Amino acid sequence: AEQMQASARSARDRGFLWRLSKDGRSAWLFGTIHVGRLDWIFPGPQLRAALTAADTLALEIDIIDPAIARQAAELSRAPADLPPWPAALRDRVARQVALACLPAQVLDGQHPVMQAMTLTVLAGRWDGLEAPFAQELVLSGMAKAQAKPLVSLESVALQMGVLIPADPAKAVALTDHTLAQLEQGKARSMLGRLARIWEQSDLDELTHYERWCECVDSADDRALLKRLNDDRNPKLAAGIDALHAQGKAVFAAVGALHM
């Protein structure tokens, strides 16, 4: 309780917030990251004012919606017809699970790509970055508490289709690459730096992400980033514009790299 009270008293603005004006109405666009700290769950003055003025919250997906959470869990599972993946890759995943202090079988049943991505997010815990403190979860909870409508700009199927390659060989290659980033410490370093940039609202440093992330070193890396990030932007933007056209005062929160 003391921690929560102290964090609430010291709440300040973080992240990237824009106000948009069109047709005589305002909307807000907020760039997030998908991990956080306890201190970050309390909105600062500008963020709080924007949330109060908005009547609708739009997220990539509302993961705390039980139906969406169930669908995400189902689509994260390895399909029954997935070819056996290399034993060496399974051993590397098992080692990362152990290093993350998780029960040995905790990720069993997940698609290999999702196992590697889950472990990447969990690497942030060594630096105090926790997925349950992500802004999307905080904002979703606030919207529900205030009885404000919450809209998902994407579907779970779309997100999973982007994250998991349909080609098994490409899925193995992506798992191998993601694990290598973990094993070399690059994933943790990148996540920590991204968190510092977000906390300090350093837009210039965010803009140069590809120069310092050590994650866009090849044509395959660039294609992956384009698929995960750039190619989703038109649908996200169209969804926000459609809500605004309906007369809603929309507060849209999506991953900061989409900016």
Mean pLDDT of the region 133-160:
93
Which stretch of 87-96, 139-148, 176-185, 186-195 has the lowest confidence by average pLDDT?
A: 139-148
Looking at every residue in the chain, the average pLDDT score rounds to: 93
Give the whole-angstrom CA distance, residue 56 versus residue 146: 10
Q: How far is CA 113 from CA 116, 120, 169, 170, in A?
A: 5, 11, 11, 10
Q: Where does the pLDDT of residue 230 fall: very low under 50, low under 70, confident under 90, or very high at 90 and above?
A: very high
pLDDT score at 129: 97
- pLDDT score, position 37: 94
Say if CB 33 and CB 201 are below 8 A apart: no
Contact 135, 206 (CB under 8 A): no
Residue 59 confidence (pLDDT): 97
- Residue range 130-143: average pLDDT? 93
Q: What is the 3-state secondary structure (H, E, C) of the chain?
A: CHHHHHHHHCCCCCCEEEEEEECCEEEEEEEECCCECHHHHCCCHHHHHHHHHCCEEEECCCCCCHHHHHHHHHHCECCCCCCCCCHHHHHHHHHHHHHCCCCCCCCCCECHHHHHHHHHHHHHHHHCCEHHHCHHHHHHHHHHHCCCCEEECCCHHHHHHHHCCCCHHHHHHHHHHHHHHHHCCHHHHHHHHHHHHHHCCCHHHHHCHHHHCCCCCCHHHHHHHHHHCHHHHHHHHHHHHHHHHCCCCEEEEEEHHHC
Closest Cα partner for 209 from 41, 196, 69, 77? 196
> What is the pLDDT averaged over residues 172-194?
95
Report field, pTM of the whole predicted structure over 0.95: no
End-to-end CA distance of the chain: give it in Å, rounded.
36
Q: What is the pLDDT of residue 119?
A: 97
Note the pLDDT of residue 4: 85
Phi, psi (5° rounding) for residue 3?
Answer: -60, -45
| Average pLDDT of the segment spanning 243-248 | 96
pLDDT at 3 over 90: no
Q: Compute φ and ψ for 86, nearest 5 degrees.
A: -55, 140
How high is the pLDDT of residue 6? 86
d(CA 182, CA 189): 9
pLDDT score of 9: 84
pLDDT of 114 above 90 = yes
Over residues 28-47, the mean pLDDT reads: 94
Mean pLDDT of 24-33: 96
Residue 173 identity (one-letter amino acid): A
Q: What percent of the chain has pLDDT over 70?
A: 100
Report pLDDT for 83: 87
pLDDT band at 217 (very low <50, low <70, confident <90, very high): confident
pLDDT band for position 10 (cuts 50, 70, 90): confident
Question: Residue 251 — φ and ψ, nearest 5°?
Answer: -110, 110
Give the type of residue at 58.
A
